Amino acid sequence: MIPTPASMPSIKKVCITGPECTGKSDLSAFLAAHYQTPWVAEYARAYLGKLNHPYQQNDLTKIAHGQVRLEDEWASDANRVLICDTNLLTIKIWSDYKYGSCDAEILRQLQSRTYDLYVLCFIDVPWENDPQREHPDKRQHFWDIYKNEVTKTGVPYVEVSGSRDARRQKAVEAIDRLLATYPNG
């Protein structure tokens, strides 16, 4: 039997988000190891790595499907908390920026997904070139968008910045507070 959300134990979902090249994957891997739980990698990286053409707006909907599928698959193996290296909010931000709109299906999915905490990564990490990264000159612009979008969700969030250790410590403190609120979750 495939577990349904109603039959799964209560887990808390934490989304690590922020502009490109802000240490999200590194932080996600650390947090998953720290809490001995799986983390949901960013589906877009694998998807875009296999494309033999520049991505189009309809590719973002396919990426959204993959991200949601991975999240749902890993949720059943989570140990009290599931760490998500991004979510559909990132896809919405990119679609709005690049195409001026976002597919209604992505917006519906985004509204139906619940998270318990956002960890918003600041842009003070040095930029590293990567073929999938697009805007090294627009980091502040995207930071402002991410902060606005995360704030609009109404979900609690914590901003992390500074050294790798400082980011990790602040994220762990926020997740510990979240888990303390739900001791049986």
| Residues 155/116, Cβ–Cβ less than 8 Å | yes
- Architecture category of domain 12-181 in CATH: 3-Layer(aba) Sandwich (3.40)
Number of helices followed by number of strands (H, E) in the chain: 7, 5
Model confidence pLDDT, tens digit, residues 44-93:
888 888 888 888 999 999 999 999 999 999 999 999 999 999 999 999 99
pTM: predicted TM-score of the whole model, two decimal places = 0.89
Q: Count of CB atoms within 10 A of residue 167's CB? A: 24
φ/ψ of 120, rounded to 5, equals: -100, 115
Model confidence pLDDT, tens digit, residues 98-137:
999 999 999 999 999 999 999 999 999 887 766 555 667 7
Percent of the residues in the chain that have a pLDDT greater than 70, as a whole number:
90
